[in-house]
Amino acid sequence: ADTAARAGATDRNGQLTKPPGALGRLEDLAIWYAGWAGDARPRIAAPQVLVFAGNHGVAARGVSAFPPEVTMQMVANFRAGGAAINQLSDFAGAQMQVHALDLDTPTADFTQGPAMTGAEVCAAFTTGWNAVDRNADLLVTGEMGIGNTTSAAAIVTALLGGDDWTGRGTGVDDAGLARKQAVIAAGLAANPKRSGLEVLAALGGREVAAMAGAIAGARALRIPVILDGFICCAAALCLQAEEAGALDHCVAGHLSAEGAHARMLEALGKQPLLSLGLRLGEGSGAALAIQVLKGALACHSGMATFAEAGVAAG
């Protein structure tokens, strides 16, 4: 991040017509964004939402309340403008693109070995990296993939340990939850690798790898990122496992209702901007959180200083 812009933003924040700290996290957010934008008084004009879709071999094991065909059906819904993420992207003034990643070829069933080959994970990661618009000033990554909360929980279990990272995803019953737990245990046994990118290949999916690629690509372009829920954070965790600080350009958009997302955010060292019980994926929570960041910058960049307004500074 740009230390001069950050210092300039911190200085400006102290002069605005409000008691010190009275805008709470909005102040921290504005200063954080200013540092990455390289501008002490920035606005968000060109947010980008990227939605990646992939199919999972483990979906055949009954880990979801929906059949795998729904991945392709929802991609059609994204393209027709009918999904939640379409409404929230439009509302945020964001451009949105959908990348369907080899939906006819699900990843391999990770209970039997790695979900993806090295070539497959690299292709997906690169698709994500290249999808980032270098003129965007903010990025949200979302996903769609029946079975991908199982993949995400497997990634987190591999990287953080413990055995209680599963949740009900789109809404499985107790038997479905037990199947998820068994599938994850089998996946870990079949895939003993432990580096971030190894785990991404072994237990992830193409859409998860693409999200990781987009988040890393945004970092190379110094574009700030708002992370979405459980699956997006699992992708992000793979990057952080490779390199501390890899997510300094990211904030957590929301706390999902999915299983152990709160503990995952703790592991990432991120506090969510919103906590509204969302568990939809698609980037929906992060897209809504764009409004919070925009509001923070509207205040930071638009308010008068004590001197400009002739207000006593207390």
Binding site for a copy of itself (CB under 8 A): 16-26, 65-67, 69-70, 73-74, 76-77, 80-84, 86-88, 90-91, 170-171, 257, 273-280, 284, 288, 291-292, 294-295, 298-299, 302-304, 308-312, 314
Closer to a copy of itself by Cβ: residue 97 or 291: 291
Closer to a copy of itself by Cβ: residue 186 or 303: 303
Contacts of 24 (CB under 8 A, 6+ apart): none
Can you name the residues that pair with 52 across neighbouring β-strands? 99, 143
Closer to a copy of itself by Cβ: residue 93 or 113: 93
Residue among 52, 85, 2 at smallest CA distance from 213? 52
Q: How far is the CB of 268 from a copy of itself (least distance, A)?
A: 19
Instruction: Report angle CA 78, 83, 88 to the nearest 5 degrees.
Output: 105
Q: From residue 294, how far is each of 131, 200, 226, 286, 291 by CA, in Å?
A: 23, 32, 12, 12, 5
Q: Output the six-digit token pair for 157.
A: 């279990």
Closer to a copy of itself by Cβ: residue 220 or 309: 309
Closer to a copy of itself by Cβ: residue 38 or 91: 91
Q: Is 282 labeled as catalytic in the residue annotation?
A: yes
Q: How far is the CB of 278 from a copy of itself (least distance, A)?
A: 5
User: Amino acid identity of 183?
Assistant: V
Closer to a copy of itself by Cβ: residue 124 or 144: 144
Q: How far is the CB of 288 from a copy of itself (least distance, A)?
A: 5
Q: How far is the CB of 156 from a copy of itself (least distance, A)?
A: 20
Round to whole Å and give the CA distance between 225 and 227.
Answer: 6
Dihedral of CA atoms 66, 71, 77, 79 in degrees, nearest 10, equals 170
Round to whole Å and give the CA distance between 49 and 67.
Answer: 26
- Residue identified by tokens 């968000």 is 44
Burial 1-25 (b: 16+ CB within 10 A, else e): bbeebbebbeebbeebeeeeeebee
Q: How far is the CB of 294 from a copy of itself (least distance, A)?
A: 7
Q: How far is the CB of 252 from a copy of itself (least distance, A)?
A: 13
Q: Output the six-digit token pair for 294.
A: 């925009």
- Of the residues 143, 198, 207, 282, only one is catalytic, namely 282
The helix or strand, by DSSP H or E, that contains position 99, with its residue range, turns out to be: strand 95-100
Query: What are the catalytic residues?
Result: 282
